[in-house]
Amino acid sequence: MEFFERFAIPHPSPIIYASMVAIGITLLAIIAGLTFFKKWGYLWREWLTTVDHKRIGIMYLISALLMLFRGGVDALMMRAQLATPEAQLLDSQHYNEIFTTHGVVMIIFMAMAFIIALMNFVVPLQIGARDVAFPRLNALSFWLYFMGAMLFNLSFVIGGSPSSGWTSYFPLAGNEFSPSVGTNYYMIAIQIAGIGTLITGINFIVTILKMRAPGMKLMKMPMFTWSALITNLIITFAFPVLTVALAMGTMDRLFGTQFFTTGNGGMDMLWANLFWVWGHPEVYILVLPAFGIYSEIISTFAKRNLYGYKSMVASMVIISLLSFVVWVHHFFTMGQGAMVNSIFSITTMAIAVPTGIKIFNWLFTLYKGSIRFTVPMMYSLGFLPIFTIGGVTGVMLGMSAADYQYHNTMFLVAHFHLVIIPGVVFAMLAGLTYWWPKMFGFMLNERIGKWAFWFISVGTCVAFFPMFISGLDGQARRMYTYSESTGFGFWNMLSFVGAVALAIGFIIIVYNIYYSTRYASRDIGSDPWDARSLEWATHTPVPEYNFATIPEVDSSEAFWDSKYNGHKLFKGKLKEIHMPNNSGVPFIMSALFFVLGFSFIFSIWIGVIVSLLGICACLMHRSFEKDHGRHISLEEVEKTESELRGGK
Amino acid sequence: MKELFPLKQVMGFVFSLVLTAVALSVVMFDMSFAMGMTILLITAFVQAMLQLMVFMHARETEDSGLILANVYYGVFIAVVTVFGSLLALIWGYM
């Protein structure tokens, strides 16, 4: 029995027991459903073993939406707890666990997954490729991310969640102050998901540099592909820092090393330093793809080509460099001298310049455009003012002298939510609505979508603007309750109302997906938005080989030119097509990583050794396997093509 | 025969041996810590670039521009991370 005691929750409550039951029932329902409808084979053949970038994209999308709701429920519980003074809904330990998991889930398992979902689906189509450069690695990326996410979510019911903030600063996150396994979950689950992300980064850099359609020079790539390239470059160079920091933290917690301890020559601030060396570029990893999505959507629905293509590209390249030299602004109050703070203040203000250039480029694209107010366009237009307010308050925080006033208050919380929500969530919802017809063959209902947009955008403002005020009044972040005499009550109640509006908005989106799946027309053609880039040049639904003949390109808007300016996209003849084989190894290997992570978290060394051997066996299998892919015959390609054109 | 003889690689090999010998001098001769570290850092950087250029063929394909750009980007970030951390945590810390 002693062995099992370690899995107990150190600080249980009815909510946690209820979610244990809910997780158990959900698992049983999934297993029973798959068995009853005889879908195990289908699931294995079509999804678990797939290497198709479109399906991997859709799996990322589903996981991201699940995580959005998990993180969203966390947020609602926090706002409910803070809505009134001296509330008793959550105690301090639960509140700590919830803001920690909210941050980790939203950033690492929701936002990252969402951007990778859209990159996976769209980038190969936009550059006219058949798949990514390394399809099997792509599957491995997804499954590592998925297993990391599942492992992290397990912490809620087995062993206890991390409670030292999504930044997990040492010494608080060390064994002395966080004795439960929660922070082990943090270190190891993020490590596993992070390896997946790093693999994605390399995969997409190679894909975009090497697999573009003939004629697509770098400066003729669509803007979303450009943003994906820069994003993946940042991923590839930023994530190793996180990997190292997490490995050091893991060793501190499990093996008694002294990297981040306060004694024995350790340096606790080194964790904060390394965390933000990764963490600040991470902010741009999240927001640059969003900028790419907005560029696509704004030029499509303003019916104009993007204003200032070159300056858009240049500003992203400059952002990618500057994003690595500003990280100290996250801990101006740590005690480094005025000289250091001044240097990082200046770099921080400098990075606002290329971002400002992009905002003006979008405004000039809109200027004299014939604007269609579709749902994706409304999110883009809502993004501009809200993001600008969030960004400008960021410049306020970036001034190191003033930062001593704002640091760790709700002002900061308001700032980064007003950057991340319009900058990432709006973009993802816009991109989801925009590319939905390409993914699933029908459009989401516009009227319901607009309801969702208004709830979400107004909800965002109502939820986060009051925090500027309560923050300046002195409400610290991560405070689980406050007394009535502080006067924070009104502002927090207002925030709670906004959070509820946001929740309603997301429920409307779910309803919209249900409604549109049932009732939307399937007869929408392959280009329902009258769009401009290559992903709309192929059929809907997209055949597994994407393009029967590889398109030839001579501008950044080749598809638009082919529709209106007489450019001929497809010049080649149909040929047989070489595609990669499916493989179960990525899934099996990631499942072993899950076992490895779980064993590490609870220091079950036999499990660590066995799963590591299994992982090595998977790697060996891949090294000695002879896999030359498969060929889709010419007849089959012709048959698929004529069916997709409407002939039977 | 002249085309078949890998002159560049042999020269590179000799040069990397020389660099190793210079690095070795740090322990062979008595010198200050700062001097020793400077020699080690410089020889290590030159050695790494030599390996990339001569033996890993970084400049020999059409897309060498992209490869080098990635290398320079990586060097920039490594330098910024290391010296920035030193600046924030040690040199500029009061």
Can you give the length of chain B in residues? 94
Q: Which of A237, A270, A339 sits opposite B77 (nearest CB)?
A: A237
Q: Which residue of B has its CA nearest to A238?
A: B77
H or E, element range at A84: none
Instruction: Give the mutation candidate from A244, A267, A274, A277 for the B interface (greatest B CB count, under 10 A).
Output: A277
Helices A112-126 and A135-154 cross at an angle (nearest 10°) of 170
- Expressed as residue numbers, the domain containing A105 is 51-287
Scanning A324-353 for CB atoms below 8 A from B yields: 324-325, 327-328, 334-337, 339-340, 343-344
* Neighboring chain B residues of A334 at a CB cutoff of 8 Å: 88
Instruction: Give the mutation candidate from B63, B76, B77 for the A interface (greatest A CB count, under 10 A).
Output: B77
B47 with B81, same domain: the answer is no
B79 with B40, same domain: the answer is no
Measured CA to CA, the distance from residue A81 to residue A480 in angstroms comes to 7
What number of other Cβ atoms are within 10 A of residue A260's Cβ? 24
Q: Which residue of B has its CA nearest to A323?
A: B77
A118 part of a folded domain: yes
Residue written as token pair 């160079």: A237
Q: Which residue of B has its CA nearest to A328?
A: B88
A236 part of a folded domain: yes
Can you give the length of chain A in residues? 648
B71 with B39, same domain: the answer is no
Measured CA to CA, the distance from residue A431 to residue A438 in angstroms comes to 11
A239 part of a folded domain: yes
Q: Which of B66, B80, B93 sits opposite A337 (nearest CB)?
A: B93
B39 with B70, same domain: the answer is no
H or E, element range at A556: none
The answer to whether B93 faces chain A, any CB pair under 8 Å, is yes
- Expressed as residue numbers, the domain containing B51 is 1-56
B88 with B46, same domain: the answer is no
B71 with B86, same domain: the answer is yes
The secondary structure of A192-242 as a DSSP string is: HHHHHHHHHHHHHHHHHHH-PPTT--GGGS-HHHHHHHHHHHHHHHHHHHH
Q: Which of B63, B89, B92 sits opposite A269 (nearest CB)?
A: B89
Tell me the nearest-neighbour CA distance from A324 into chain B, angstroms. Answer: 7
Contacts of A400 (CB under 8 A, 6+ apart): A329, A332, A338, A341, A342, A344, A345
- Phi then psi for A8, rounded to 5 degrees? -65, 150
Predicted-complex ipTM score: 0.83
Scanning B42-81 for CB atoms below 8 A from A yields: 63, 66, 70, 73-74, 76-77, 80-81
Q: What is the CATH number of the domain that holds A245?
A: 1.20.210.10
Flag if B88 and A270 touch (Cβ within 8 Å). Answer: no
* Neighboring chain A residues of B87 at a CB cutoff of 8 Å: 340, 343
Reported as half-sphere exposure (CB side, CA atoms, 13 A), residue A184 has a value of 24
B68 with B90, same domain: the answer is yes
Quick one: pLDDT at residue A648? Answer: 47
Quick one: average pLDDT of B41-51?
90
C-alpha distances out from residue A178 to A108, A253, A379, Å = 22, 10, 41
Mean of the per-residue pLDDT values of chain B: 86
Render pLDDT for B22-41 as a digit per residue (tens, 0 to 9).
Answer: 999 888 888 888 999 999 99
Contact A159, A7 (CB under 8 A): yes
Q: How many CB pairs under 8 A join A and B?
A: 49
Flag if A267 and B89 touch (Cβ within 8 Å). Answer: yes
Flag if B85 and A209 touch (Cβ within 8 Å). Answer: no
How many folded domains does chain A comprise? 1
* Neighboring chain B residues of A270 at a CB cutoff of 8 Å: 85, 89
A124 part of a folded domain: yes
The secondary structure of A114-159 as a DSSP string is: HHHHHHHHHHHHHTT-SS-S-HHHHHHHHHHHHHHHHHHHHTTTTT
B52 with B68, same domain: the answer is no
Flag if B93 and A339 touch (Cβ within 8 Å). Answer: no
Buried b (16+ CB within 10 A) or exposed e, A134-156: bbbbbbbbbbbbbbbbbbbbbbb
Residues A353, A354, A356, A360: is their CA dihedral positive or negative? positive
* Neighboring chain B residues of A237 at a CB cutoff of 8 Å: 73-74, 77
Measured CA to CA, the distance from residue A173 to residue A165 in angstroms comes to 9
Residue written as token pair 């319009």: A422
B71 with B32, same domain: the answer is no
Flag if A321 and B76 touch (Cβ within 8 Å). Answer: yes
Would the pTM of this model clear 0.90, i.e. be above it? yes
Quick one: pLDDT at residue A144? Answer: 97
Position B2 pLDDT exceeds 70: no
Q: Nearest Cα to A12, choosing from A170, A180, A131, A210?
A: A180
Measured CA to CA, the distance from residue A622 to residue A243 in angstroms comes to 24
Flag if A324 and B77 touch (Cβ within 8 Å). Answer: yes
Instruction: Give the mutation candidate from A202, A269, A340, A341 for the B interface (greatest B CB count, under 10 A).
Output: A340
H or E, element range at A578: strand A577-579
Quick one: pLDDT at residue A386? Answer: 95
Q: Which residue of B has its CA nearest to A273?
A: B85
Helices A268-301 and A410-420 cross at an angle (nearest 10°) of 40
B46 with B68, same domain: the answer is no
A574 part of a folded domain: no
- Cα Rg of chain B, angstroms: 18
Render pLDDT for A532-547 as a digit per residue (tens, 0 to 9).
Answer: 999 999 988 899 899 9
Measured CA to CA, the distance from residue A325 to residue B73 in angstroms comes to 13
B49 with B85, same domain: the answer is no
B27 with B66, same domain: the answer is no
Measured CA to CA, the distance from residue A372 to residue A200 in angstroms comes to 35
Measured CA to CA, the distance from residue A489 to residue A483 in angstroms comes to 8
Residues of chain A predicted below pLDDT 50: 648
A402 part of a folded domain: no
How many folded domains does chain B comprise? 2
Helices A309-322 and A268-301 cross at an angle (nearest 10°) of 170
Flag if B76 and A267 touch (Cβ within 8 Å). Answer: no
